[in-house]
Amino acid sequence: MNSGNLFARARRRIPGGVNSPVRAFRAVGGEPVFVKRAKGSRIWSVDGVELIDYVGSWGPAILGHAPPVVVSAISETAQRGVSFGIPNPLEVEMAELICTWIPAIEKIRMVNSGTEATMSCLRLARGFTKRDKIVKFAGCYHGHADSLLVKAGSGALTHGQPDSAGVPRAIAGETIVLPFNNIEAVRAAFREDKDQIAGIILEPIPANAGLFFPREDFLHQLREECTRNGAVLIFDEVMTGFRVARGGAQQLYEIRPDLTALGKVIGGGLPVGAFGGRTEIMDQLSPNGPVYQAGTLSGNPLALAAGLAQLRELHRIDGWRLLEDLGAKLESRLADAISGKELIFHRIGSMFCLFFASGPIFDLESAQRSDTKKFAQFFHSCLEGGLYFPPSQFETAFISTAHSDEDIEQTARVVREALTRL
């Protein structure tokens, strides 16, 4: 058994041979690596190759792979049942923890994925405001719900299909797409569609078209415009929630959104999502209100046990300080290799991206100046050197608390060598 044979078998039974498009290596060429096992900061392929991993299941593995505290929580919980479809105590514990750590979330509902969370936020915003239109930003990816697959990031961007087939024009027509960091475009949209915009959804730190940041006051200005126009401000913190800080990006930027979508870290590596916010909005959900949302596996005990164990361990070890230290060390070790080249290194805490472009990069258009062919060469060179980075220029890499100083030093050395060979 090796990756090549598995991929050939997969293509016969799975569309494209993968269960999520970016895994197919189309953006970098070659064939995907199949993982046999993972532990700490490392993965081992079925081909017997050991790699330092910077994908981390696309963010959830913030303590590294298979951390004992999470594995133990899953094992102990599984002994009592893996799914009930009936309320269980872990749902209450997770709700209380999240509402304590993120003050903008007064009530919360569990779902099974980030896509479910963002999709539910849109329905809730529309039901609460009794308006239909939604504003999103080009390059921000919020899952594959119809309303949101309009100039999306992540796999949709990588594969050159920002507007997916199968999305009805009538639904796409209710989505207004604007350039990130452009507050004047937002104000113009509110003027043009007065009293029609239900809400604005965004990644407060976009991480699905590479990684770039909000300009000073942009998020505060969005808050002001939503308040002024009676629209709901929705932060998609599926990726940044509990990753960039205990209270997510909204803690860092001191913004209080009306609704927040969460996922990734709160499941400890198991499928999970959640959305929450102001009580008066959340109480519009059934069974209290007229906005319907449901899920047979929502609040799954295994996922919540894993997530609670991970969050509590992060808090116990002050994981966010450790992650910042590791991220800062990597950035420092790469500074000389990047200096003077058409390269931009963006990092916030344990999230980072190396753009093969000249700066500044602050929105989708500027990110798309990147040389994707050079990135592909860089990716494969790093892979040969023992590093597994996301296989796309337009994805973000993740450090875990399991990464060691030695991992960071090895990573910096391999990256420098790969850049020298370009």
Please give the pLDDT value at position 158. 45
Active site residues: 141, 236, 264
Per-residue pLDDT tens digits for 259-291: 999 999 999 999 999 999 999 999 999 999 999
Residue 172 clears pLDDT 90, i.e. is over it: no
Which tens digit of pLDDT belongs to each residue from 284-318? 999 999 999 999 999 999 999 999 999 999 999 99
How many Cβ atoms from other residues are within 10 Å of residue 8's Cβ? 11
Whether the predicted pLDDT of 153 surpasses 90: no
Q: What confidence tier does 155 reach under pLDDT thresholds 50, 70, 90?
A: low
Query: What class does CATH assign to 68-315?
Result: alpha beta
132-147: pLDDT as tens digits:
999 999 999 998 887 7
Whether 3-66+317-421 and 68-315 share one fold: the answer is: no
Q: How far is CA 304 from CA 82, 132, 134, 189, 273, in A?
A: 11, 33, 31, 39, 10
- The 10s digit of each residue's pLDDT in 191-226 is 999 999 999 999 999 999 999 999 999 999 999 999
Residue 325 burial by Cβ neighbours in a 10 Å radius (0-12, 13-18, 19+): middle
CATH superfamily for domain 3-66+317-421: Aspartate Aminotransferase, domain 1 (3.90.1150.10)
Length of the chain (residues): 422
User: Which pLDDT value is given to residue 359?
Assistant: 81
pLDDT at site 159 = 42
Rounded to two decimals, the pTM is: 0.95
Stretch 6-28: mean pLDDT: 95
Cα–Cα separations (whole angstroms), residue 380 to 229, 303, 385, 389, 396:
48, 34, 9, 9, 16
Give the pLDDT band of residue 160 (cuts 50, 70, 90).
very low
What residue segments make up the domains of the chain, in order of their start?
A: 3-66+317-421, 68-315
Cα–Cα distance for residue pair 247/61, rounded to 1 Å: 18
pLDDT in tens, 221-268: 999 999 999 999 999 999 999 999 999 999 999 999 999 999 999 999
- pLDDT bin (cut points 50, 70, 90) of residue 165 is confident
- Phi, psi angles (nearest 5°) of residue 140: -80, 125
The proportion of the chain whose per-residue pLDDT surpasses 70, expressed as a percent, equals 96
The continuous run of DSSP H or E covering 403 comes out as none
259: which 2 tokens? 């609704």
Question: SS3 letters for 363-380?
Answer: CHHHHCCCCHHHHHHHHH
d(CA 191, CA 193): 6
User: Quick one: which of 263, 261, 246, 247 has its CA closest to 307?
Assistant: 263
Q: Given pLDDT bands bounded at 50, 70 and 90, which one contains residue 169?
A: confident
Task: Spell out where 258-373 has E strands.
Answer: 259-263, 273-277, 344-348, 351-355
Q: What is the pLDDT of residue 370?
A: 97
Q: What is the average pLDDT value for the chain, to the nearest integer? A: 95
Q: Would you call 27 helix, strand, or coil by DSSP?
A: coil
